[in-house]
Amino acid sequence: MTSFAGDPCARCEEVLQPFLDRELSEDERALAEAHLDQCAYCRKRYRFEVSLRRYVRQVAAEPMPLELKARLAALRTPLL
């Protein structure tokens, strides 16, 4: 892992996804948080990612047809 020392915004862009996925180590996470605290440019893009993910999840949440639910329930082993 490279540090935030050279080009911190480029580094922040690089770790943004694992950061949001909660897959960064404690140390990396702290570095990303510290950068986001002080950089409005990256913070804006971070907030956009949060909104985008929420939106994608919401759009994707198509409810299961009730009829399919009934068909799945019918696959259960009959009780004797």
Partner 1 sequence: MGEAASETQARRLATEARDRVRFEEDALALSDQVYRVARHLVGSREEAEDLMQETYARAFRAWRSFQPGTNLRAWLLRILTNLNIDRGRKRQRTPETQPLEEGDYFLYNKLEAAVGDGDADEERVVERLSQDSIVSALSAVPHDFRDVVVLVDIGDFSYADAAQILDIPIGTVMSRLHRGRRVLKRELAEEAVGAA
DSSP 63: P
Pick between residue 13 and residue 28 the one whose CB is nearest to partner 1. 13
The nearer residue to partner 1, 30 or 55, going by C-beta atoms, is 55
Q: What residues make contact with partner 1 under the rule CB under 8 A? A: 10, 13-14, 16-18, 21, 23, 44-45, 47-53, 55-57, 59-65, 68-69, 71-73, 75-77, 79
Residue 65 DSSP code: P
**Alpha-carbon distance 26 to 16, whole Å?**
14
**Cβ 53 to partner 1 shortest distance, Å:** 6
Closer CB to partner 1, 5 or 60, in the complex:
60
Q: Where are the beta strands (DSSP E) in the chain?
A: none
In angstroms, how far is CA 12 from the centroid of its own chain?
Answer: 15
